[in-house]
Structure 1
Amino acid sequence: FILIEAALLRNSKNSRTNKKPGQNIAQTYFCIVFNILLPFLYGAAVVQLVTDIAKYSVGRLRPHFLAVCQPDVTKFNCTDGYITADVCTGDMALIKHARVSFPSGHASFSMYSMLFLVFYYQARLTWKNLLLLRPLLQLIVFCLAFYTGLSRIYDYKHHWSDVLAGNIIGVIVSLITVFTLTDLFKGRKSSEEQQTDNNVKLESIRVNKPVTKL
């Protein structure tokens, strides 16, 4: 965010920067960055809140729960009904952590943050010489989020459905945050499009300018 907005502010010569009268370049820059970071942090907090509520409401065991629990086999019984005896002998903190598998917090936050970055690249990297670089960067950050989810599965930290649910949470919150709390796609034009509009307006003025008779 910081580097891209600095480059945009440096090269911008129109109203794209939303500069107000009396603001210097530093104030304008921090205002733009703040308007991007604040919605991002708000969305991140929502993702964390939704994920934690689901985790402690469902209480699904992680795939490696037995390795953490280290159950005492002498306390096993085959009676019907809910077993209340504590058969785990492992570390209680690790056992508690192994009881909150659904949904994956790593998957939800990584998908939210990387998808937010994908939308940010789409809205901000509008220079013609970056048209090939932009989709490459978007693919890289999306693959990072996808790989994060996969790593939680093959590390036996989550079930595949935990990762899928986390990804869905991240996608939904990212879409809501970008399109309702930011102005990334609200009347934004690239510098080339803005320059084209200015040229069209100037040409229209020249054509419609009355000819002065000598």
Structure 2
Amino acid sequence: MAGGRPQLKRSFSIIPCFVFVESVLLGIVVLLAYRLEFTDTFPVHTQGFFCYDSTYAKPYPGPEAASRVPPALIYALVTAGPTLTILLGELARAFFPAPPSAVPIIGESTIVSGACCRFSPPLRRLVRFLGVYSFGLFTTTIFANAGQVVTGNPTPHFLSVCRPNYTALGCPPPSPDRPGPDRFVTDQGACAGSPSLVAAARRAFPCKDAALCAYAVTYTAMYVTLVFRVKGSRLVKPSLCLALLCPAFLVGVVRVAEYRNHWSDVLAGFLTGAAIATFLVTCVVHNFQSRRPSGRRFSPWEDLGQAPTMDSPLEKNPRPAGRIRHRHGSPHPNLKLNQN
């Protein structure tokens, strides 16, 4: 950027690519997430259980809306929290840019598409980061729902909503001689409870709420760490990141305390969300930094920024340094300056 004027770059493919490629891919991901969660297109695997298994005999905690962290609250937090953080961060970066000597950032060009459409670097960064975040949010939902559909692991309150008839199933009651479960039930019609509650109680692994919270927190914490610039303090950004991690951890604790998930389900959800966020940040948005131009290779010395220079005595000599001239002005035919 010379003289404060932005660099312009013409591109006629940015709008068609956004409309016909990226929007279509995002729509497919949203449709697949909807099919996995709200329809029976992919039936849940029916996993068997042991008679009188105390692992799945916890009391029914009620519907999801009655939880201390209902799904509506989680969806609102994972949508609004990262969006506001990225929006404020990009606005602060646009209106209060860092000095060039402080952080060597490769500038982006303003893309001109057609005769009227201009896409400035702040707008492109905002759309890029929020678009990738939305894509990852629905991808995390797909991974969590696919894991639940494939495994069919029961929740801790599964037997409370299943209400199996142990007498008809041939399950003897536990006794001192048989303290543990001794028969594994695989009958498809073993449950006499509500089919909707039974189907929901078979979707425990991994925990979807934990996966969404871990994804949102990891993406936001990496954005804060890599983009925010705080002078004079080393504890502001770690404190903010830990404050973001605390609600996600509490969501997992509440899910276990209310007998809605096991610890293994919550940990698997945390790993799923954090892995997807890390992949998108490092491989897709390149740590929230501008990409280098592909036409030129940068040497390691150029990455160090502006280095101090020293004028050479030969550069101060106004005469050309190629040859030594005689006092009559004619160059010597054989003698040349040794520039080494």
What code does the residue aligned with 2:92 have? A
Partner SS, residue 287 of structure 2: coil
1:112 CA drift (Å): 1.1
Partner SS, residue 35 of structure 1: helix
Q: Does 1:32 align with 2:117?
A: no
Q: What's the Cα RMSD here?
A: 3.1
Structure 2 residue aligned with 1:5, among 82, 90, 94? 90
Contact kept, 8 Å, 1:73 with 1:87, in 2: the verdict is no
Structure 1 stretch displaced more, 127-136 or 19-28: 19-28
What code does the residue aligned with 1:88 have? A
The CA distance in 1 between the partners of 2:199 and 2:218, in whole Å, is 31
**Gap change, CA 1:72 and 1:140, over 3 Å in 2:** same
Number of aligned positions between the proteins:
200
1:169 CA drift (Å): 0.9
Structure 2 residue aligned with 1:85, among 185, 189, 192? 189
Structure 1 stretch displaced more, 78-87 or 7-16: 78-87
The CA distance in 2 between the partners of 1:185 and 1:38, in whole Å, is 13
Instruction: Give the TM-score normalised by the residue count of structure 1.
Output: 0.78
1:69 CA drift (Å): 3.0
What code does the residue aligned with 1:164 have? L
**Gap change, CA 1:208 and 1:20, over 3 Å in 2:** farther
The structure with the largest helix share of the pair is: 1
1:174 CA drift (Å): 1.4
Partner SS, residue 128 of structure 1: coil
* Structure 1 unmatched ranges of 5 or more: 189-195
The structure with the largest strand share of the pair is: 2
The CA distance in 2 between the partners of 1:137 and 1:127, in whole Å, is 12
Contact kept, 8 Å, 2:223 with 2:288, in 1: the verdict is no
**Gap change, CA 1:98 and 1:16, over 3 Å in 2:** same
The CA distance in 2 between the partners of 1:70 and 1:17, in whole Å, is 64
Contact kept, 8 Å, 2:152 with 2:202, in 1: the verdict is yes
How do 1:89-168 and structure 2 match up within 5 A? 89=193, 91-129=194-232, 131-168=234-271
**Gap change, CA 1:172 and 1:87, over 3 Å in 2:** closer
CA distances 1:84-139 after superposition (whole Å, capped 9, x unpaired):
434423x3322211110111001111111101111101111123145321110111
What code does the residue aligned with 2:152 have? G
Equivalent residue number for residue 156 of structure 2: 63
The CA distance in 2 between the partners of 1:127 and 1:117, in whole Å, is 16
CA distances 1:2-53 after superposition (whole Å, capped 9, x unpaired):
0111001111266666242669998433211111112212222221111111
Contact kept, 8 Å, 1:62 with 1:98, in 2: the verdict is yes
The CA distance in 2 between the partners of 1:111 and 1:119, in whole Å, is 12
Equivalent residue number for residue 45 of structure 1: 138
Equivalent residue number for residue 20 of structure 1: 110
Q: Looking at CA atoms only, which structure, 1 or 2, has the larger radius of gyration?
A: 2
The CA distance in 1 between the partners of 2:305 and 2:288, in whole Å, is 18
1:74 CA drift (Å): 6.5
Structure 1 residue aligned with 2:286, among 171, 183, 188? 183
Instruction: Give the TM-score normalised by the residue count of structure 2.
Output: 0.51
Identity of aligned residues (%): 23
The CA distance in 1 between the partners of 2:247 and 2:159, in whole Å, is 30
Contact kept, 8 Å, 2:110 with 2:120, in 1: the verdict is no
